[in-house]
Amino acid sequence: MPPDLSMESTYAGIIAGVDEAGCGPWAGPVVAAAVILDLKNPPDGIDDSKKLLPEKREALFALISASSHISVGISSVAEIDSFNILGATKLAMRRAVEGLPVAPDVALVDGNRPPDLTCTTQMIIGGDALSLSIAAASIIAKVTRDRIMRALAAEHPHYGWESNAGYGTKKHQDGLAKFGVTPHHRRSFRPIRELLEAMELVAV
């Protein structure tokens, strides 16, 4: 079953869906998006971004952007390393909601760890598969982050970020082994931290 407006129908006022992309990768920022759909006329085909092919996500990104209020919040690698990935994700979500051109009355947020928002916040585990608004936010966040990682891949072509989005694939691991850690790697993540510690031992 694709996501629908059942969750949205239980609330009054302006409703925003909120989701993130990029909690698990070893490199790159974490990106959150907030989307206020036109609930009377949402774009057709919205689904959990993970279930969509890249070209479908891109097409829906354009449709959602043209018909909805959207905002993106980003937490940098430095913020991830300073606040941990959960804290950085919450910060990105807050930035996304605060960046909306219209203040929502309710935020439907994917997950179970609420960000610090000034509006009513409803956490929904697996929300991108249930709520159309959250699914729309998942598409905006995913496409935005994939574009960022493709741009970074052009600067650092040895890690496969254009296809693995910074996750720890074999190509990414091979790149780390041969070319080392870049400024875009999350040093607080265990694989990167352990690689840096091993390099320090070799240098001693």
* 138, 128 contact by CB (below 8 A): yes
* Residue 1 within any structural domain of the chain: no
The tokens for 50 are: 């993970």
* Residue 3 within any structural domain of the chain: no
pLDDT digits (tens, 9 = 90+) for 148-193: 999 999 999 999 999 999 999 999 999 999 999 999 999 999 999 9
In a shared domain, residues 68 and 124: yes
In a shared domain, residues 43 and 89: yes
pLDDT digits (tens, 9 = 90+) for 41-85: 999 999 999 999 999 999 999 999 999 999 999 999 999 999 999
* 32, 122 contact by CB (below 8 A): no
In a shared domain, residues 194 and 104: no
Q: Range of 196's domain?
A: 161-203
In a shared domain, residues 27 and 103: yes
pLDDT digits (tens, 9 = 90+) for 81-121: 999 999 999 999 999 999 999 999 999 999 999 999 999 99
Residue that is last in its domain, among 137, 154, 171: 154
The tokens for 155 are: 């600067």
CATH number at residue 32: 3.30.420.10
**What total of structural domains would you count in the chain?**
2
In a shared domain, residues 93 and 182: no
The tokens for 38 are: 């036109």
Does this model's pTM top 0.85? My answer is yes
Tokens 């840096």 correspond to 196
Q: Minimal CA–CA distance to 165: which of 18, 73, 30?
A: 30
In a shared domain, residues 90 and 184: no
Strands 69-75 and 30-36: antiparallel
